[in-house]
Amino acid sequence: MPRRGVATRAQVSGKLSKMLFELSVSDELGRYLEQLEERSNISLEETASVREVRKQYRRRKAIPPELIEEFNIARSKSQATWAEARRTSDFALFLPHLKKMVEYARRFADYYGYEDHPYDGLLEEYEPGMTSVQLRQIIEPLRGEIVRLIRRLSDQGSRPDSSLLEGTFDIDTQRRLARRALKVIGYDFDAGSLDDVPHPFTTAIAPGDVRVTNRYVDAAFTPGLFAALHEGGHALYDQGMDEKLFHLRLARGASYGVHESQSRMIENVVGRSRPFWMFFQPILAEFFPQFTHASPDDLYRAVNVVAPSLIRVEADEVTYNLHIMLRIEIETGLIDGSITAADLPRRWNETIERYLSVVPANDAQGVLQDVHWSMGSLGYFPSYMLGNLYAAQLHAKLRDEVTDLDERIASGNLRALVDWLRENVHRYGAVYPPTELIQRITGSPLDTSHFMRYITEKYADVYRL
């Protein structure tokens, strides 16, 4: 669309959002919900729909509308200031806005209500059923195990040679490669598109209309390819939902964490696996002939280098969760008041050094790197970690049930993988809450041992331990 069309579209979209919001907190909807909650002869999906709409109704009505309006204005300013602060690495500039965003998050948590810790009131938005106590129980043992694994890889492992990935890569060829990769994983281009943007994301307008966006850099093909696989994983979930869920408002992920599990499954568990590269190396060579004689095994190892780094979005799958844990610790502390906003840079830098032995040269590479807090989105970060944990647990179950999964993938047949995900995860959308969904599929609640086993075995192999 033309640049100058943005303002009118924003007006229209703002008007429609307002109408939608008003309907979503209306007394009329309240009466419908009461009537539906009294019924006993409604289907599983309808029951789930009532549960989810009721929850949204309750949470939306919990906050005074004038507070939401005030917050929206403050958030716009906060985000704009954060962008400027990150550019100039000036935490002091952002600090007053961060304080305000934390204060709003606290007030929202109070309005939403919680049993144990105010952070739980925020978590409910992103990962229903999850609590800060559970998060602590997950993080405490996991953090040490990951730190020890990283040390072991670095001390005893044979770091893969990633120099074979170097080069300059034509952007349009990368675009076509991304398209091919999406076809390989079963992304339906009749029900989905692929376009360019500065920050990749996936939007599901309806099950038959999913939009994947991606970006490419010419210095490497891997960011564009793995981002496509990541977004493709989200997109498979959105395309795989039962269409009847759409009008029940259940055509979305069971949670942000479960949605992220699907993207991480395709990007990492599948896309950075040895069987995948056995099959994908000749495809890569079709687009970039310099890889015609590359060994699939060398490529597999090259895309799995573990390198402690400062930036979350560039982190490998071993170190990634440590970046998230750092953020969860800080968020929780900000919300319960045990950490002050002003103390963030010191706290951040000390912690990341303890976890990863790296020290940010400035706050742009540290505490200012992510947009989330500037938008007041406290409580979102755990979803990233949970996505990795769910992915490993689901993958373990999947390999139990599809015993020749690796052979199939190595021969380019991803059908069984995608069918299993569709049958067990995708088609249900938000019918089951995340805890119930994981329990139903795997027979047990969230169990972090799958993730540890997965990375321990994989990286012992990659690093030839």
Q: Which residues bind a copy of itself (CB under 8 A)?
A: 1-5, 7-9, 188-193, 205-206, 208-211, 246
CB 202 to a copy of itself: min, Å? 13
* Cβ distance to a copy of itself smaller for residue 133 or 171: 171
CB 3 to a copy of itself: min, Å? 5
By CB atoms closer than 10 A (0-12, 13-18, 19+), residue 72 is: exposed
User: Other CB atoms closer than 10 Å to residue 161's CB: what's the count?
Assistant: 11
Instruction: Determine contact, residues 191/208, Cβ cutoff 8 Å.
Output: yes
String of b and e for 392-425 (b: at least 16 CB within 10 Å)?
Answer: bbbbbbbeeebeebeebbbeeebeebbebbbebb
- The size of the chain, in residues, is 465
Long-range contacts of 49-56 (CB under 8 A, 24+ apart): 49/248, 49/249, 49/250, 52/249, 52/250, 52/430, 53/29, 53/249, 55/128, 56/24
* Cβ distance to a copy of itself smaller for residue 15 or 464: 15
* Cβ distance to a copy of itself smaller for residue 12 or 80: 12
Q: To which H or E segment does residue 156 belong? A: helix 132-156
CB 415 to a copy of itself: min, Å? 20
* Cβ distance to a copy of itself smaller for residue 16 or 67: 16
* Cβ distance to a copy of itself smaller for residue 250 or 315: 250
Runs of H (alpha helix) within 207-294: 222-240, 256-264, 274-287
String of b and e for 265-296 (b: at least 16 CB within 10 Å)?
Answer: bbbbbbbbbbbbbbbbbeebeebbeebeebeb
The sign of the dihedral angle between the CA atoms of 270, 275, 277, 280 is negative
CB 211 to a copy of itself: min, Å? 8
* Cβ distance to a copy of itself smaller for residue 26 or 444: 26
CB 196 to a copy of itself: min, Å? 15
231 catalytic residue (yes or no) = yes
CB 1 to a copy of itself: min, Å? 6
Phi-psi region of 34 (alpha: psi -120 to 50; beta: other; left: phi over 0): alpha
Instruction: Determine contact, residues 204/238, Cβ cutoff 8 Å.
Output: yes
Nearest of 299, 270, 267 to residue 283 by alpha carbon: 299
Nearest of 316, 326, 158 to residue 226 by alpha carbon: 316
CB 18 to a copy of itself: min, Å? 15
The 8-class DSSP code of residue 129 comes to T
Which one of the listed residues 124, 125, 231, 267 is annotated catalytic? 231
User: Other CB atoms closer than 10 Å to residue 346's CB: what's the count?
Assistant: 10
Residue with tokens 């640049």: 3
* Cβ distance to a copy of itself smaller for residue 2 or 289: 2
* Cβ distance to a copy of itself smaller for residue 141 or 201: 201
CB 210 to a copy of itself: min, Å? 7
Radius of gyration for the alpha carbons in the chain, expressed in angstroms and rounded = 23
Residue positions annotated with a catalytic role = 231
